[in-house]
Copies of this chain bind each other. A is one copy, B any other.
Amino acid sequence: MKRKVYYYDTDCGGVVYYGNYLKFFEEGRTDFMEKTGCAIPDLEKANCFIMVHHQEVWYKHPAKYGQELDIETYAVEITPFRIVFEAFVKYQDTLLVQGITDVVCVNKEGKLSSWPQDVIKAIPISERKIKIRRF
């Protein structure tokens, strides 16, 4: 999906604030889920709320005000309790930032529950692209 960078995304370093890429990742996931036919607002009506469990982000180049970014989102792993997304923020084919987001499903009371079977079936799984640097 396309996402323009606004003033409110940036900081006085002249680039997008490092914490705001997690908002871009949310936008990408929301769009991805909608396209699979599992729109998040519908999941919530079925008492299934997405909660992020783990997040990793690599910052390669900063995004800047006025740029129109591409946010690419892929599901790379799905188990009864976990979906792992990879996201890539690009500007004109240059990779700026990438992230791995590990999400679980909780009910209205915040209790962990398994992903509904139809969600598991609907989500296409892509090959993992991010090679994790262990330090």
Q: Chain copies in the assembly?
A: 4
Q: Which residues of A from 1 to 37 have beta carbons under 8 Å from B?
A: 4, 6-8, 10-15, 17-20, 22-23, 26-27, 30
Using A12-B64, A12-B65 as known contacts, say yes or no to A18 and B55 having CB atoms under 8 A apart. Answer: yes
| B18–A52 CB distance below 8 A | yes
Residues of B within 8 A of A12 (CB): 7, 10-15, 64-65
CB distance from A130 to the nearest CB of B (A): 12
A116 at the B interface (CB under 8 A): no
Interface size on A, residues (CB 8 A): 42
Interface of A is mostly: mixed
Interchain residue pairs with CB less than 8 A apart (24): A4-B30, A6-B23, A7-B11, A7-B13, A7-B17, A10-B12, A11-B11, A11-B12, A12-B14, A12-B15, A12-B65, A18-B52, A19-B26, A41-B66, A52-B59, A53-B58, A53-B59, A54-B133, A55-B57, A56-B56, A62-B110, A102-B135, A132-B134, A134-B134
